[in-house]
Amino acid sequence: MSASLADLRVRGLRGIKPKADAWRAHGSLVEHERRPDGSTTRALTIFLTGSECPFTCVFCDLWRYTIDGPTPKGALPRQIAEALKAVEPPLPERLKLYNASNFFEPRAVPPSDLPAIAELCGEFAGVTVESHANTIGERTLEFARQIPGKLEVAVGLETIHPAASATLNKRLDRGRFERAAALLGEHGIDLRVFVLLGAPNIPTSETVEWTVRTASYAATRGASTVSVIPVRAGNGELERLEALGRFSPPTLPQLEAALEQCLLHGARSTVFTADLWDVDRLAGCPTCRTQRVERLRQMNATGVAQPRIHCVACAG
């Protein structure tokens, strides 16, 4: 994919990329995760190091965890194997392989490595990978056949706001997303969707509304899980848009309101969660912040809108 003027601008505003080792994962964690059938399972997430995503979305901060150039052959199986060795038994039921790029893009994940990766996934009932809707196709189906567990593909939909979606530099429209979702559904592959809170070019007063509308749309297209992710500033491009009045960093109350509305009005067959990674960066009342974060954690865990918090300090 050749770089556009928007690509060059976004990359030119970034800071220095931290040095990454192509042969070592840059982190892992084990957490409990609610599933659409109401159960709670343990999931191991391995944050793999590899090639940078070519799509250069204006909101992305994942480039910090990538290398320049293609992922070396053999690097990802080694990263996964080493991460699995470090996990105290018993292994969790689910494995999530997040490579800060697109799992089904050959530059990011060499096709010759897929059989070895599939073998390493052998002890897990479910496996999640992330990939742009444009990269979902025959390679996806092949990998699903190679693993004994059930495949889930995480796709960034971000927003269905027409103007905002067109300015994300993501090169994704609804038609392409719907075709990818349909292909996954036809082959028994689960769909997980990432939705943005605070996407650029959405008026602040409409931020929560469009987040909820996008999450609901994803659910109607077969998403078993929808994760609401607050946009994280710091990549240079978002600061440029903020100076132009086209971006406002999302807040803790907005995240709380978005998840609450998803749980109250969303499809019962879909798990809605709020991504609490870097939640401390979200602006909010210092008096009730701890209570509100805990409320979000409880809603993530139970899928039930918890009693609202009333705070005199912020009149919330």
Cβ atoms within 10 Å of 114's Cβ, excluding its own: 19
State the pLDDT at residue 158.
Answer: 98
Q: Is the pLDDT of residue 178 over 90?
A: yes
CATH of residue 260: 3.20.20.70
State the pLDDT at residue 315.
Answer: 81
Q: Is the pLDDT of residue 184 over 70?
A: yes
Q: 94, 128 in Cβ contact below 8 A?
A: yes
* Model confidence pLDDT, tens digit, residues 45-92: 999 999 999 999 999 999 999 999 999 999 999 999 999 999 999 999
* Model confidence pLDDT, tens digit, residues 245-271: 999 999 999 999 999 999 999 888 999
66, exposed or middle or buried, with CB in 10 Å at 0-12, 13-18, 19+? buried
CA angle, corner 242, sides to 241 and 243, nearest 5? Answer: 90
Q: Is the pLDDT of residue 291 over 80?
A: yes
- Asked, for residue 313, whether it belongs to a domain, the answer is no
Q: List the domain range (segments joined by +) for residue 82.
A: 5-302
- Asked, for residue 308, whether it belongs to a domain, the answer is no
Select from 49, 119, 50 the least CA-distant residue to 81: 119
Residues 6+ apart with CB under 8 A from 75: 22, 23, 49, 50, 113
Q: Is the pLDDT of residue 196 over 90?
A: yes
- The pTM for the full model equals 0.97
- Asked, for residue 309, whether it belongs to a domain, the answer is no
State the pLDDT at residue 3.
Answer: 81
- Looking at the chain, the whole-number percentage of residues with pLDDT higher than 90 is 97
- Asked, for residue 310, whether it belongs to a domain, the answer is no
- Asked, for residue 145, whether it belongs to a domain, the answer is yes
Cβ atoms within 10 Å of 95's Cβ, excluding its own: 26
Q: Is the pLDDT of residue 2 over 80?
A: no
State the pLDDT at residue 1.
Answer: 67
CA 33 to chain centre: 14
DSSP labels, 43-98: EEEEE--EEPPSS--TT--GGGGEESSPPPTTHHHHHHHHHHHTSPSSPPSEEEEE
- Asked, for residue 312, whether it belongs to a domain, the answer is no
Q: Which residues pair with 31 in a beta bridge?
A: 43
Mean pLDDT of 9-34: 96
DSSP labels, 179-234: HHHHHHHHTT-EEEEEEEES-TTS-GGGHHHHHHHHHHHHHHTT-SEEEEEEPPP-
Q: 274, 228 in Cβ contact below 8 A?
A: yes
d(Cα 48, Cα 20) in Å, to the nearest integer?
A: 10
- Asked, for residue 108, whether it belongs to a domain, the answer is yes
Count up the domains in the chain and report the number: 1
Q: What is the mean pLDDT of the chain?
A: 96
Q: 263, 305 in Cβ contact below 8 A?
A: yes
Select from 95, 157, 99 the least CA-distant residue to 127: 95
- Asked, for residue 166, whether it belongs to a domain, the answer is yes
